[in-house]
Amino acid sequence: MVSGTSKLGTMVLVTDYGKLEIPVKNVTSLDIGISGNKAGSDKINNLLKQLSNTKEELRKSAYDELMSSDIKTIPVISEFINNLKYEPSTFNDYTPESVLSELQSRYNVTEGYSSKDVIAIDYEYSIGGTYDFVKIDLKTEYGTLSIPKEKIKRIDVMYSGGGEGGEITFKLLGTKHISANLNGGWLKTGIMVKSGQKININANGEVTFASLSGSKYKPDGSVAGVTTNALGTDYSGDYLSGLTYPTYGNVVFKIGENSTQVLKAGAKYNGTAPSQGMLYLSIYETVYNAANTGSYTVKVSVK
């Protein structure tokens, strides 16, 4: 995994349904698929057919040539094996299945690989197609690296629109970004903060907690349709604003992926970073239920 900055414009994804032009600020991640070697598919198929030849030396020669091929051979072999007309070899050595298994092991390709590039949009939607690029120029603390597409498995995108002090908008999903969710419950903002830096967080929206009898919560921790707080008294303005610890529905944040210090932001937060590291956001709940619905829109700026 390599982290750095890169100047990317609109990402053009050619899909089965047309061409999409996606602004990079809306891209959450890009999983690189393994496209087949179309130009060399005829040659690969002929070599695969030779694996059924009765002469062992011809089978071995074809096998060795297939084993020397690149990662783009894998989808071609898979298509050959999965063809309805395919008949498995009667020989136990130098089979198409063994070639496929060896190449997948060499290139660390799992069974569920995608032949398409998959772009996730706004932390919520995903679509597959072809994002045609040759390389990514990534500026890192060790210098600028030019990384070719075929060497990339996944790109996580953290968009920065305007530098320090600029406001960046994120979406927290009730179905995913819950503090009790141990698998992706914290949204990585890509914003690095230093101890003492001023952080401004403003949030609005509504989430429904299936884990709390379907109650609808707001970023300040209030329940939609309820006019009294947990203490049984009327409130106005920011719900339970005097409390420093988070309550159900609050927007919360932490500094650093492994931090155990969960801090309340609520609907509006103006404070300072207690430590140095990456800023993470989530919605506070002690139980995670994937049946939750709704989302919060959260705007963050650091000065």
Reported as a single tens digit per residue, the pLDDT across 234-264 is: 443 455 555 678 999 999 999 999 999 999 9
Query: Is residue 151 over pLDDT 90?
Result: no
Task: For residues 180 and 186, give the distance between their C-alpha atoms in angstroms, rounded to a whole number.
Answer: 9
pLDDT at 241: 55
Mean pLDDT computed over every residue of the chain = 88
With a pLDDT cut of 90, the percent of the chain lying above it is 63
Reported as a single tens digit per residue, the pLDDT across 13-50 is: 999 999 999 988 888 889 999 988 878 899 999 999 99
Q: How confident is the model at residue 144 (pLDDT cuts 50, 70, 90)?
A: very high
pLDDT at 243: 65
Query: pTM for the full model?
Result: 0.57
Q: Which segment of 115-119, 120-124, 156-160 scores lowest on mean pLDDT?
A: 156-160
pLDDT at 43: 95
pLDDT at 231: 47
CATH code of 168-302, in short, is 2.60.120.430
Query: Is residue 145 over pLDDT 50?
Result: yes
- Contact 119/126 with Cβ under 8 angstroms? yes
DSSP assignments along the chain, one per residue: ----B----PEEEEETTEEEEE-GGGEEEEE------STTHHHHHHHHHHTT-S-HHHHHHHHHHHHTS-TTHHHHHHHHHHSTT----S-SSS-HHHHHHHHHHHTT--TT--SSEEEEETTTEEEEEB---SEEEEEETTEEEEEEGGG-SEEE----SSSTT--EEEEEETTT-BTT-TTT-SEEEEEEE-TT-EEEEEEEEEEEEGGGTTEEE-TTSPBTT--B-TTSSB--SSTTTT--S--TT-EEEEESTT----EE-TTEEEEE-SSSEEEEEEE--SS--TT-EEEEEEEEEE-
Q: How confident is the model at residue 162 (pLDDT cuts 50, 70, 90)?
A: very low
Given the structure tokens 């990317």, which residue do they identify? 8
Interval 86-112 mean pLDDT: 90
Query: Is residue 5 over pLDDT 60?
Result: yes
Domain boundaries defined on the chain: 11-33+116-156, 41-106, 168-302
pLDDT at 226: 67
